[in-house]
Structures are given as C-alpha cells and as structure tokens.
Amino acid sequence: MVLSREMQPEPPADYVAFVVRRFGAARAEAARLTGGERYADEVYPAAFTDVALHWRWQRRRADAILERSLARRAKRWREEQIYEVDVRPVHEGRPSPVRFVSVALRKAGLLAPTARPSAQPVAEAGIAWCCAYRRWRWRRLARTVAAVLIAVLVIAEMLPGPPA
C-alpha cells in the first residue's frame, strides 16, 4: 500500500482536459462571486491549483472540489477587500435580453467552431499544476523535517540520563 504518491512536475493530460472543459464556467463563476470580470483572475487560478493538489486521489470529485474552492477563495478574497464588493446573483431560467438580429446569428450556435480553441486554458492548467507541485514539495519537506524532529525527540527520551 502506497501512502504518498509522488506528484509529477508536468500536468497529466486528463487534468489539462478538465481545465479546458471547465475554464469558461469557472471564470464566469469567479466573476460572479467577485463582482466583476476584472477580479475573476484573482480567484479561479487558485481554485484550479487546489484541484491539482487533490487530482491524484479525487479526480472523480474534481467538479465538487472546484466549486467549493471557488466559493472559499472568493469569500477569502472579499474579506481582504478594503471596499464593499457588489455581488449580484445570476437568475437562471430567464430569457437572455440579447435578441438575434439575423438567421445567420441564430444558426451560428449550431455550427462547429472553425477557430482553434484558445491556448489560455491549457496555459492556466500548466501554471496551476506548477503551483500545486511547488506547494506539494514544500509540504513533503515539512513532513520530513517534522518526522526527523519527532524521531530525535523520541531517541533523546529513550537514552539514559547522566549518572547520579
């Protein structure tokens, strides 16, 4: 039984695919939670880093981890702000106020995209994985130092005291 698996320095393909698939929704949710698109970049990268830290063991629950992390990171971000942040809830089920003006625009959503997907989600996945890898290495070092200190203390307690 392996208690601690090594984290690889490069992100696995399934993690990159997860970030590409969830990038738009995570960014939109971060924008909603922080009160604007300009602040979303301060929240969602840290949430993807949290998912990367748990990826090896809980990749089936990655969606739930991302949602919880976005909420927790946004709450922490709002608490750190000096001024009040205006957060408006999104009402689902309402029709969009934007009306299509032509048949071509109405059909555009049905056509396959002709442009290449953006490289930003792939870059965000790499950056988040790198941050998670760095954090994992520091935690591993801290666990090793703590284990050595405990071992030294146990050995010091087991040694006989000076003769009286």
Tens digits of per-residue pLDDT, 122-153?
A: 888 888 888 889 999 999 999 999 999 999 99
The answer to the question of residue 147 being in a domain is yes
Whole-model pTM above 0.85? Answer: no
Distance CA 154, CA 161 (A): 14
The answer to the question of residue 164 being in a domain is no
List, for residues 25-37, the tens digit of each pLDDT value. Answer: 998 888 888 887 8
The answer to the question of residue 132 being in a domain is yes
Per-residue buried b or exposed e for 43-77, using 16+ beta carbons within 10 Å of the residue's own CB:
bbbbbbbbbbbebeeeeeebeebbeebbeebbeeb
Residue 91 has pLDDT above 60, yes or no: no
Cα distances (angstroms) measured from residue 28 to each of 17, 19, 37: 18, 14, 8
Domain interval for residue 71: 13-83+119-158
The answer to the question of residue 145 being in a domain is yes
Residue 52 token pair? 């990367």
Which contacts of 140-147 are long-range, i.e. CB under 8 A and separated by 24 or more positions? 140/4
The answer to the question of residue 144 being in a domain is yes
- Number of structural domains found in the chain: 1
The answer to the question of residue 48 being in a domain is yes
Distance CA 65, CA 54 (A): 8
Distance CA 6, CA 3 (A): 10
